[in-house]
């Protein structure tokens, strides 16, 4: 059977059909990106459909999260759930709704009944115990268990089942035929006759199974090309049998390999817990750091490697342990300050290549160039180092105004405390002071937490560089003033400044250095940096002093002098 274009689009119709069971994994994002690019580059249509027929796993919040993530990536849908984009655009809707499967039961029932009426599907009343017994029998015969039609039941028998409170599933009579799957990515594969069992198409709760809903919806929504994860490859045989039984068109299929970690393991949300468990072990922690997770959550999590912390708890614990959690889901990358256009570019390279040396491109390029012929069959390895390098390059090349605007958006979402603490001028200064040293939109915030602290909460890091800069534990090489001496002297000068600007501070410090530090500005700047930020790393020092503010700077320097003097 050949594929037909949909009646209501000129080009191919693709869809992304997530089951809203959590966050959008990068693998899912890549499937969406490929599906989107394929149709949009060919004057086609891209649909989002929420496959929420598994009542236990689905949640509305999760679907909204998915939509937000997709929109953020620049993947906008022509049809699908309605969504108000941050720029005010209304996305979604369309003539083939509802785009939530849980609201389409009537349609599925209609087609299910058609199959029953035509003898192509049947009610099966087995209890789970009965099914278990059948499974055991098959095992005893060393056969794989495949459910087959077990003969018609009489009206009396049916009434008896109903009276017992049993509920039937509906099974598809698959017939023992060989099925050849054509796959544009993987090539053809044939499932021998008898491989496909009489699978369930309607569950006891009246909901369709994934197989049934996907087939009905792809037909009714006019889907011509299905790109999805490789784990669905053999499911496609079931879908093809159903399409034939229902007289539906057959879309073109392409199954995409999974994305793996460089060490060949699957990129899974458990990776975060793995990193945290390792850090906890290394530090020999027996209780959760204060303000991270509850004692109860901790006990459950420590006691069982299969238990995962919720995202917020994991983030808090990661911050307390100073470990970077591996990003797995789109919103993890967003939170870490990756740019959506970079993430799309990078995801596309994980499983596709435009050929030649081209590595950097935008979604427009991808739309124009993406085709199934260059999609890779084998799993891609997700190289975070390369992703970060891509992101750094993009941030370096960004006009400063864009950087500031995008960091502000990022802060609104993830770092509101910086917006609360810094007025507009100082926020802008933080941006200009940070761009050069930033690899992500989060770096200006992540690296400068000292700005938020109360002056008496700033801790000075007692490390080699700090000791050296302040002259703790060693006499200065020239027998003159130590860093701490300079800090004490410059503190008095700064306190007397009437103007607190970079240039006023810099000229005062330069004049001081010329007279007392052999014109070595670093001898003054480094102790100052430690004094106001707690360590030897911060944005340029004069910017840093302005960011901290005069009053706080003096208060912090005083504390630093006291702290260092006690160690001397
Ligand atoms: N809901 C399925 C999933 O999330 C969709 C598979 C498909 O695209 O057919 O895996």
Number of H helices, E strands in the chain: 24, 13
CA distances in angstroms from 196 to 152, 172, 228, 329, 526, listed in the order given: 20, 10, 20, 34, 72
Looking at residue 1, what is its pLDDT?
Answer: 37
Using the CB atoms, write b or e for 69-94: b if 16+ within 10 Å. Answer: bbbbbebbbbbbbebeeeeeeebbeb
Phi, psi dihedral angles at 180 (to 5 degrees): -105, 120
Q: How far is the CA of 216 from the centre of ligand 1 (A)?
A: 13
Q: Which of 26, 33, 209, 229 to mutate to test the pocket of ligand 1 (most atoms within 8 A of CB)?
A: 229
State the Cα–Cα distance between residues 350 and 259, nearest whole angstrom: 7
Looking at residue 242, what is its pLDDT?
Answer: 98
Q: Which of 216, 227, 228, 253 to mutate to test the pocket of ligand 1 (most atoms within 8 A of CB)?
A: 228
Residue 473, sorted as left (phi over 0), alpha (psi -120 to 50) or beta, turns out to be left
Q: Does pTM top 0.75 for this prediction?
A: yes
Ligand 1 atom at minimal distance to the Cα of residue 227: 8
Ligand 1 atom at minimal distance to the Cα of residue 218: 9
Looking at residue 479, what is its pLDDT?
Answer: 60
Looking at residue 80, what is its pLDDT?
Answer: 97
State the Cα–Cα distance between residues 435 and 204, nearest whole angstrom: 57
Q: How far is the CA of 339 from the centre of ligand 1 (A)?
A: 26
Radius of gyration of the chain, Cα coordinates, nearest whole angstrom: 31
Helix or strand (DSSP H, E) at 417: helix 416-421
**Could you tell me if 42 and 224 are in contact, meaning their C-beta atoms sit under 8 angstroms apart?**
no
Q: How far is the CA of 105 from the centre of ligand 1 (A)?
A: 18
Q: How far is the CA of 49 from the centre of ligand 1 (A)?
A: 10
Helix or strand (DSSP H, E) at 434: helix 424-434
In this structure, the residues whose C-beta lies within 6 A of any atom of ligand 1 are: 17-19, 51, 214, 228-229, 232
What pLDDT digit, counting tens, does each position of 222-240 carry?
A: 999 999 999 999 999 999 9
Q: How far is the CA of 134 from the centre of ligand 1 (A)?
A: 29
pLDDT lower than 50: segments of the chain:
1-7
What pLDDT digit, counting tens, does each position of 423-465 carry?
A: 999 999 999 999 999 999 999 999 999 999 999 999 999 899 9
Ligand 1 atom at minimal distance to the Cα of residue 15: 8
Q: How far is the CA of 56 from the centre of ligand 1 (A)?
A: 16
Looking at residue 5, what is its pLDDT?
Answer: 42
**Could you tell me if 482 and 476 are in contact, meaning their C-beta atoms sit under 8 angstroms apart?**
yes
């Amino acid at each position: 059977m050949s594929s037909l274009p949909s009646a209501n689009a000129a080009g191919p119709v693709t869809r992304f059909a997530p089951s809203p069971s959590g966050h959008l994994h990068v693998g899912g994002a890549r499937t969406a990106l490929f599906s989107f690019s394929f149709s949009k580059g060919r004057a086609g249509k891209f649909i989002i459909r929420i496959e929420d027929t598994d009542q236990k796993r689905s949640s509305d919040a999760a679907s909204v999260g998915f939509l937000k993530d997709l929109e953020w990536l620049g993947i906008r849908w022509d049809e699908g759930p309605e969504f108000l984009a941050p720029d005010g655009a209304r996305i979604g809707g369309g003539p083939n709704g509802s785009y939530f499967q849980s609201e389409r039961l009537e349609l599925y029932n209609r087609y299910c009944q058609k199959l029953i009426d035509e003898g192509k599907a049947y009610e099966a009343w087995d209890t789970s115990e009965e099914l278990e017994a059948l499974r055991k029998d098959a095992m005893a015969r060393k056969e794989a268990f495949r459910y087959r039609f077990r003969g018609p039941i009489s009206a009396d028998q049916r009434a008896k089942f109903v009276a017992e409170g049993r509920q039937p599933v509906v099974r598809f009579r698959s017939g023992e035929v060989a099925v050849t799957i054509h796959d544009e990515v993987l090539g053809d594969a044939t499932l021998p006759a008898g491989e496909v069992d009489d699978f369930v198409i309607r569950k006891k709760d009246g909901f369709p199974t994934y197989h049934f809903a996907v087939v009905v919806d792809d037909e009714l929504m006019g889907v011509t090309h299905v790109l999805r994860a490789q784990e669905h490859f053999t499911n496609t045989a079931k879908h093809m049998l159903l399409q034939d039984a229902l007289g539906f068109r057959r879309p073109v299929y392409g199954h995409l390999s999974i994305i793996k970690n460089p060490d060949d393991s699957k990129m899974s949300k458990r990776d975060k817990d793995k990193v945290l468990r390792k850090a906890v072990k290394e530090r020999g922690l027996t209780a959760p750091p204060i303000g991270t997770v509850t004692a109860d959550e901790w006990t459950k999590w420590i006691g069982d490697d299969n238990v995962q912390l919720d995202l917020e708890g994991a983030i808090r614990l990661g911050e307390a342990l100073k470990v970077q959690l591996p990003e797995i889901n789109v919103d993890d990358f967003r939170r870490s300050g990756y740019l959506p256009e970079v993430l799309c570019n990078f995801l596309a390279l994980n499983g596709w290549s435009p050929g030649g040396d081209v590595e950097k491109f935008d979604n427009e390029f991808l739309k124009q160039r993406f085709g199934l012929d260059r999609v890779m069959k084998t799993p891609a390895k997700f190289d975070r180092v390369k992703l970060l390098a891509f992101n750094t390059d993009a941030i370096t090349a960004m006009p400063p105004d864009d950087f500031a605007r995008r960091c502000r958006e990022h802060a609104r979402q993830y770092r509101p405390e910086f917006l609360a603490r810094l007025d507009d001028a100082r926020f802008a200064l933080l941006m200009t002071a940070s761009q050069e040293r930033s690899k992500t939109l989060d770096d200006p915030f992540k690296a400068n937490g000292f700005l938020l602290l109360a002056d008496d909460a700033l801790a000075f890091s007692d490390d080699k560089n700090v000791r050296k800069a302040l002259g703790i534990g060693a006499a200065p090489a020239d027998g003159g003033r130590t860093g701490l001496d300079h800090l004490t002297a410059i503190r008095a000068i700064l306190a007397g400044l009437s103007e607190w600007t970079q240039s006023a501070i810099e000229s005062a410090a330069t004049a001081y250095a010329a007279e007392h530090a052999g014109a070595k500005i670093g001898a003054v700047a480094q102790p100052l940096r430690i004094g106001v930020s707690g360590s030897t790393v911060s944005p340029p020092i004069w910017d840093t002093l302005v960011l901290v503010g005069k009053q706080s700077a003096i208060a912090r320097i005083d504390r630093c002098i006291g702290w260092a003097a006690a160690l001397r």
